[in-house]
Amino acid sequence: MKTFYNKKIRGFTLIETLVAIGILMMAVVGPISVAYKSLKSSMVAKDQFTASYLAQDAIEYMKALAIKTGGLPVCGTSNNGIDTCDVDTTRSIGDVYLINCNIRSCNLDFDINDGYFYASAGGTVSPFTREIRTKEISLKEMSVEVTVSFLSGKSTTSNYVTIYSNIFIP
């Protein structure tokens, strides 16, 4: 007895199946990698925004301090060898609390209960470090440089934001 096969009904070969799977993989992996890179970029942007806010916060605190006291404490080498310092901007202007960054690290702590960053102990360690450098330009003018450095995500490279301002003392 003879068996006849219909030559019009054919299945896929192994090579055709592998090519189809490869094309499907490229179609899926491309958008996933774009989404991952976008998410990573937005996390870095969020940290940059927070760092610029923390730097501007210190500048504004130093300006308010100059208005209230009629002068600024010098954080540079002319003030007892202090190279860099930080201030706790959550304290009132009358309670000036300079932190010598050569003795204690100028890491900022984050309190999840109130959402504030503290230069003194008060919360969990954050990835942000703030350093202030001041320089007297004249009797009534002072230059302030605030640098906030941070590690973003799993990165081992430090990013930073620096803001400069001249403060005129009344």
**Cα(57)–Cα(49) distance, rounded to whole angstroms?**
12
pLDDT in tens, 39-88: 888 888 888 999 999 999 989 888 888 888 777 766 755 444 446 788 88
- Which tens digit of pLDDT belongs to each residue from 9-25? 666 788 888 888 999 88
pTM given for the model: 0.74
Between CA 92 and CA 43 the distance in angstroms is 32
The answer, yes or no, to whether residue 164 has pLDDT greater than 90, is: yes
How many whole angstroms separate alpha carbon 57 and alpha carbon 72? 16
* DSSP 8-state class, residue 152: -
Which of 79-83, 105-109, 120-124, 136-140 has the weakest average pLDDT? 79-83
pLDDT at 82 (0 to 100): 47
Q: Please tell me the predicted confidence (pLDDT) of residue 105.
A: 74
Q: What is the pLDDT of residue 11?
A: 65
